[in-house]
Copies of this chain bind each other. A is one copy, B any other.
């Protein structure tokens, strides 16, 4: 049998005072005699009292829960972001409720539509990949739930957003390849619809143009975000006759790793023959051989920033939505060394 937990009524009865006084003693210290307050506090620890969040949530119209919705957690970037979110949430007495979409649009829509708004104070969301309708998000925002997007953001929705500097990160990556002496630079990337993809693609294009190199659409391959997708993209680039690239800019490290593996498979020397650079700075970059050059994303910081932004929205209903872009940093390793 599930046990009945200790309530403030029990404390009140034990001390022969009213529940109102107990409630105040436990929170305010206002309108309550220090001596009484101390007796309540002592009794509370003696009885091992724990507040009932359902009850407080009901009357205060706020649980201390924030939701985190994202495609998956089994990769470095997302799990690090969550760690950052968790930190800030924890510091402020908030709990994290985790929702995983497996990168499925249906699952995402189902989760968002079934969301019990009243059991959440706010939501942090990273949209699933294959998406260009955001009606389900608009709905819950209209219903009054504060939402902050991160990484993969919903472009046309008026809500706060936190991302890394995808454009400049991509720009730096490509410029680094050019400075290293590579001349035919391909880009293997994610789904077209995502703003993240578009921003990195733009950085790629503009870096080429700045250095007087022609942008060739055939040198850009769109697919998913996985290592296997990286392998597949290389197959596509290197099986078409003639125009093989001498460098690969991958939209993330997992695809970069896939590219390295696929190139090694083809007996191509990564670095001297074909350069590869990724994006994220997954620890795996230092383990793969050759080590993978990359653009470091401030994943932990994205999490912290996103969460504290959300908390501001929760605290002040009319807090104006803002977009935060955190800067990225180039890290050169062996995979972009020609000699």
Cα distance A288–B264 when bound, in Å?
13
Please give, as numbers and ranges, the residues of chain B lying within 8 Å of A54 by CB-CB distance.
Answer: 53-55, 57-58, 63, 118-119
Residue of B nearest to A102 (CB): B83
**A97 in contact with B96 given A51-B116, A83-B72, A118-B54 (CB within 8 Å):** yes
Digitize A61-85: 1 where CB-to-B-CB distance is under 8 Å, 0 elsewhere: 1110100000011111001101100
**A3 in contact with B100 given A54-B54, A58-B54, A287-B257 (CB within 8 Å):** no
Please give, as numbers and ranges, the residues of chain B lying within 8 Å of A261 by CB-CB distance.
Answer: 287
Whether A74 pairs with B76 at a CB distance below 8 angstroms is yes
- How many A residues are at the interface, by size bracket? 35 or more
A50: interface (CB < 8 Å): yes
Residue of B nearest to A90 (CB): B100
In the complex, which residues 93-125 of chain A have their Cβ closer than 8 Å to any Cβ of chain B? 95-98, 100, 115-119
Digitize A33-59: 1 where CB-to-B-CB distance is under 8 Å, 0 elsewhere: 000000000000000101111110110
Whether B65 pairs with A97 at a CB distance below 8 angstroms is yes
A218: interface (CB < 8 Å): no
**A83 in contact with B97 given A50-B117, A118-B5, A317-B1 (CB within 8 Å):** no
Select the residue from A2, A62, A72, A115 with max chain B CB neighbours within 10 A: A2
Cα distance A277–B117 when bound, in Å?
48
Cα distance A95–B119 when bound, in Å?
11
Digitize A286-322: 1 where CB-to-B-CB distance is under 8 Å, 0 elsewhere: 0111000000000000000000000000000110000
A281: interface (CB < 8 Å): no
Please give, as numbers and ranges, the residues of chain B lying within 8 Å of A318 by CB-CB distance.
Answer: 1
A335: interface (CB < 8 Å): no
Whether B83 pairs with A73 at a CB distance below 8 angstroms is yes
Select the residue from A3, A98, A288 with max chain B CB neighbours within 10 A: A98
Cα distance A318–B76 when bound, in Å?
40
Cα distance A80–B90 when bound, in Å?
23
Please give, as numbers and ranges, the residues of chain B lying within 8 Å of A86 by CB-CB distance.
Answer: 98, 100
Cα distance A143–B92 when bound, in Å?
26
Whether B52 pairs with A119 at a CB distance below 8 angstroms is yes
A144: interface (CB < 8 Å): yes
Cα distance A127–B63 when bound, in Å?
27
Determine which of B1, B50, B73, B284 lies in contact with A82 in the assembled complex, contact meaning CB atoms within 8 Å.
B73
**A2 in contact with B116 given A54-B57, A65-B97 (CB within 8 Å):** no
A92 vs chain B, min Cβ distance (A): 13
In the complex, which residues 125-183 of chain A have their Cβ closer than 8 Å to any Cβ of chain B? 139, 143-144
Whether A58 pairs with B61 at a CB distance below 8 angstroms is no
Whether A2 pairs with B58 at a CB distance below 8 angstroms is no
Please give, as numbers and ranges, the residues of chain B lying within 8 Å of A75 by CB-CB distance.
Answer: 79
Please give, as numbers and ranges, the residues of chain B lying within 8 Å of A100 by CB-CB distance.
Answer: 83, 86, 90
Closest 4 CB pairs of A and B: A3-B144, A53-B119, A54-B57, A52-B118
Extra contacts, 10 of them, besides A5-B117, A289-B289 (Cβ < 8 A), are A52-B58, A54-B55, A54-B58, A54-B63, A79-B79, A82-B98, A86-B98, A96-B98, A227-B283, A257-B287
